[in-house]
Amino acid sequence: MLADAQRLGDCGPEIFDPAAYGARARPVDAGGRQAAWFVEGPGWQGVLRRYRRGGLVARLSRDAYVWTGESATRSFREFRLLAAMRALGLAVPAPLGAAYWRHGLAYRAAILVERIPDVRPLALSLGEPLWEDVAGAIVAMHRAGVWHADLNAYNILAGADGRIWLIDFDRGVQGRLSERGRRDNLERLRRSLRKVAGEEGERFWMKLRDSYWAAWGVGSQP
């Protein structure tokens, strides 16, 4: 396991067990595939998430992944990516802990990140003029070379102070990000906005798209 010793102290694997928190653990209502909880400890509040599969492959195994080495585990990769992004000053959750449990050729994993207070998902905030701020957050992520594997209207959070946060970097990568990678992120977000809000989502997307390319410095793009 990996852990932020300054925040968590001398902790053990119990921090990845929602039952260990008792009444201080509450299931996350939106998303999480029934495998995420709001938890808290001395001086911190967090979101505990166990890695779960989606789609057809989940019929074979809901939470087991093929073992290809410790550095390739979903939890360690996300923990280290978040730490790198935080070091660059990006608005993402602070990683608190990550763990995996190996069983022969397979493993299961979990991650604990700091909970961001007073935020709401973009999906519930489309009536507000947030497109420039959201576009700016995505541009900052892309300039850092980070590709988000599931950039959707629930993985973008708006803070009460106006700050935009990006969350859930499972399978995200940092490196040389291509224009195609950037466009893939934007199109994934467009589909999500259409799904959750129809025409309102499309109108928001059009403004966000123009704001993104203006912030990127190349003008409006199709």
Torsions phi, psi for 9 (to 5 deg): 70, -150
- Asked if 150 is an active-site residue, the reply is yes
Helix (H, G, I), strand (E, B) or coil at 220: coil
Enumerate residues 6+ apart whose C-beta is below 8 A from 62.
52, 53
SS3 state of residue 63: coil
Which contiguous run of DSSP H or E holds residue 155?
none
Unique residue bearing structure tokens 């700016």: 136
Per the CB < 8 A criterion, the answer to whether 159 and 118 are in contact is yes
Which residue of the set 17, 150, 184, 210 is catalytic?
Answer: 150
The catalytic residue positions are 150
